[in-house]
Structure 1
């Protein structure tokens, strides 16, 4: 194997490592549709459902409450922010976010978690090559989800929704969670790779000046990822060509 030009790779979790992006999207739709249906009935208005386009534009990759606020703003709906301790479903930003999380956990408990095989193989190969690995996710469920698929110990750094709250980090599209994971690994953005599937995530990678921001287009959103900061976009890590292929992309992007 050729000498690698990078020394760390930081992965998003949902939609990159685990197939939980689909679960998140379904939980968001369930929560918002229930809220919007009730609101339409109360106000005598027409119900307009929460769509996949809404998910990708306003919610995907963002911290939970920020996602709620972003979507409501898109519909010109103003409600109180509330408190993180609000009951799930309470008509506050936090209450709706907590209901979404409840729905997500219900699905995970019922159906379990799947890992993308190509990502699992890449993680094994990178570990064998001595590359430092980090996970940076907006999710507060990151640790239990990774533990459920026996991958938690794979990562030398984890910066998720829980750690972000403790450290007061800004969420995506700001680069804080990626740069913090990079620091924890003892690396620098210039020598590191970000792997992301969300627009807000590739925006964060670009803002953080990472040596390579690789977009994974799980939602046929190649164009959106490329336009928002991804240096290269693939549909799946299988297309990269293993570690050597990843290294070629990194070198090409920095030449």
Structure 2
């Protein structure tokens, strides 16, 4: 199979679908920290000083890449905990699925405001190369803050389509590990799944790429989980998107 010159992709690919956190921007670690603070505070109040903390493995397996409420439910289920669903307006102190999700989002926004947002320079260069080659691009993220983050790093105009948490909720699209958001992005770009490449750092995103039968799935390994990314469906794994240009 041939490759598109300079991009390290099969020559059948006409559209590229990029996750945001951990692929384009350096926000995955901030998300993980906000989740850790949220769940550790909840577990400490529930179980006392001897509580079992939220770990990086918990983040990778149950939370990363999923819509916020799905992440809460998934992690709590792993600990045998059930909470009322609550409503989107629940205060961050509420012991409900939506309350915990709102607590995490408040912490995330505070961390972003305090430390700013950065993009991976290799990813921005790769995006520019993809667009220069005439491929269509979409950002696919479960985050409801996606547009603000893209604007903060000056990358909003690098994408033809945006399917984020806001758009997914409006369209009723289930989040990762289901492939629906990626499929919607490909459709909005006028591309078939087989002609689209998925770029993801989350295991849930790998599952979405595999189940959606996309033409190529790139795992981006920022935290040393290359083997797991491959096990979940990555066709190739890179530490930075700039590496794909050297593989062409």
TM-score between the two structures when normalised by the length of structure 1 = 0.91
Contact 2:19 2:200 in 1 (8 A): yes
CA distance, structure 1, for counterparts of residue 24 and residue 172 of structure 2: 25
Deviations 1:119-142 (A, max 9, x none): 010011111111100000011110
Question: Would you say 1:166 and 2:170 are equivalent positions?
Answer: yes
Question: Would you say 1:139 and 2:125 are equivalent positions?
Answer: no
Question: Would you say 1:39 and 2:46 are equivalent positions?
Answer: yes
Question: Would you say 1:216 and 2:215 are equivalent positions?
Answer: no
- Root mean square deviation, CA, Å: 1.4
1:59/1:2 CA distance change after superposition, 3 Å? closer
TM-score between the two structures when normalised by the length of structure 2 = 0.94
RCO comparison, higher one (Cα < 8 Å, 6+): 2
Q: Which residue number in structure 1 is paired with residue 13 of structure 2?
A: 6
Aligned length: 241
Q: Which residue number in structure 2 is paired with residue 248 of structure 1?
A: none
Q: Which stretch of the first structure deviates more once superposed, 149-158 or 15-24? A: 149-158
Q: Which residue number in structure 1 is paired with residue 188 of structure 2?
A: 184
Question: Would you say 1:16 and 2:35 are equivalent positions?
Answer: no
Q: Which residue number in structure 2 is paired with residue 30 of structure 1?
A: 37
Q: Which stretch of the first structure deviates more once superposed, 121-130 or 163-172? A: 121-130
User: Which runs of 5 or more structure 1 residues have no equivalent in the other structure?
Assistant: 246-255
Structure 1 residue matching 2:176: 3-state secondary structure: coil
Say which structure is richer in helix.
1
CA distance, structure 2, for counterparts of residue 87 and residue 2 of structure 1: 51
User: Which runs of 5 or more structure 2 residues have no equivalent in the other structure?
Assistant: none
Q: Which residue number in structure 2 is paired with residue 62 of structure 1?
A: 66
Deviations 1:191-211 (A, max 9, x none): 110000000001101111110
Structure 2 residue matching 1:204: 3-state secondary structure: helix
